[in-house]
Homo-oligomer: A and B are copies of this chain.
């Protein structure tokens, strides 16, 4: 590595200084950010704190050759989606990163540039973290903090029998983008390929929509679709003690995704409904109450919201996906890591 600056040549404390410290910002709530044993901050009196954490592993969640600028933005965005699902306002984060000492400095600089870009876009900044050497994979853990008004957070556990089920955006694009990357899907059109890859690599946290839903007080339950539409609906069902029926004909798919189903057959639907990483919002609202909300979502946040089914009584608290009135048999209940 002669001539190339690596992490080893910079040292751990140098890395912290060069990569993280400049990303910190002033904020009247943050008393102590990066640079002490712990961060110290306050939250406004009428607010509660939200916190969520996600770990991304090289070789599992991303490939070694993934663009670090993209990786940093995705790592922040998947956490932002969790704050969106609670209806909160994201504020600060902790970053723990494990990297091999021979990692080129350029990789870290690009990673830092991604954090900066996403931080500016979503108005969040780091208040602490940890950097450690790794003999193996890069490991990234982001813990994100947000705030929300007292008793205003949207949980998974409030769905009621009779509620209508809604989802934002389109479902399955990310799973198709991943399938293409893994070589199990051939995407014919160059334009579709770019779109599906983008949806997988750079999900859009629905923060404005989450805030709108929370302010409306209408959703009884809300979750972000990270494990897959069916699995995440299952999480709502389990937490709320209910069942759910959704109709595959109502689920919003992008034109690009529809073209893949046309080209490769309906078996793709299973991947799309269980593949995960959509990071769309899935929520339930009492019947007849959501019309204005759906219109507001489109007008104020530019996000399409679609009714896809209803909450029903059920003993096993598992969702059912109907196709032409019959329950579909899906290969899995969503993507699990094991």
Interface, chain A (partner B; CB < 8 A): 7-8, 10-13, 15, 31-32, 35-43, 45, 48-55, 57, 59-61, 81-83, 85-86, 88, 94, 96, 98, 101, 127-137, 139, 141, 143, 145-146, 148, 150-151, 153, 155-157, 223-224, 239, 336-338
Contact = CB atoms under 8 A, between A and B. Distances in A.
Contact of A128 (B53, B139, B239): B53
A37 B223 contact: yes
A119 B11 CA distance: 34
A1 to B, nearest CB: 13
20 contacts: A35-B239, A36-B86, A36-B239, A37-B81, A38-B82, A38-B83, A40-B50, A41-B48, A41-B49, A42-B48, A51-B127, A53-B96, A53-B141, A55-B130, A55-B132, A57-B139, A59-B136, A131-B337, A137-B137, A143-B143
Contacts of A127: 51
A51 B137 CA distance: 26
A317 B199 CA distance: 49
Contacts of A132: 55, 57, 60-61, 337
A96 to B, nearest CB: 4
B153 A32 contact: yes
Given A94-B143, A136-B136, A39 B52 contact: yes
Q: Which residue, A96, A129, A145, has most C-beta atoms of chain B within 10 A?
A: A96
B338 A101 contact: yes
Number of copies: 2
A51 B86 CA distance: 21
A129 B143 CA distance: 9
Contacts of A36: 86, 155-157, 223, 239
A12 B337 contact: yes
A160 B102 CA distance: 39
A305 B148 CA distance: 43
B49 A139 contact: no
B43 A49 contact: yes
Given A11-B338, A133-B338, A155-B36, A49 B52 contact: no
A41 B151 CA distance: 10
A151 B31 contact: yes
Nearest to A155: B36
Contacts of A37: 52, 81-83, 85-86, 156, 223-224
Contacts of A31: 48, 151, 153
A309 B15 CA distance: 30
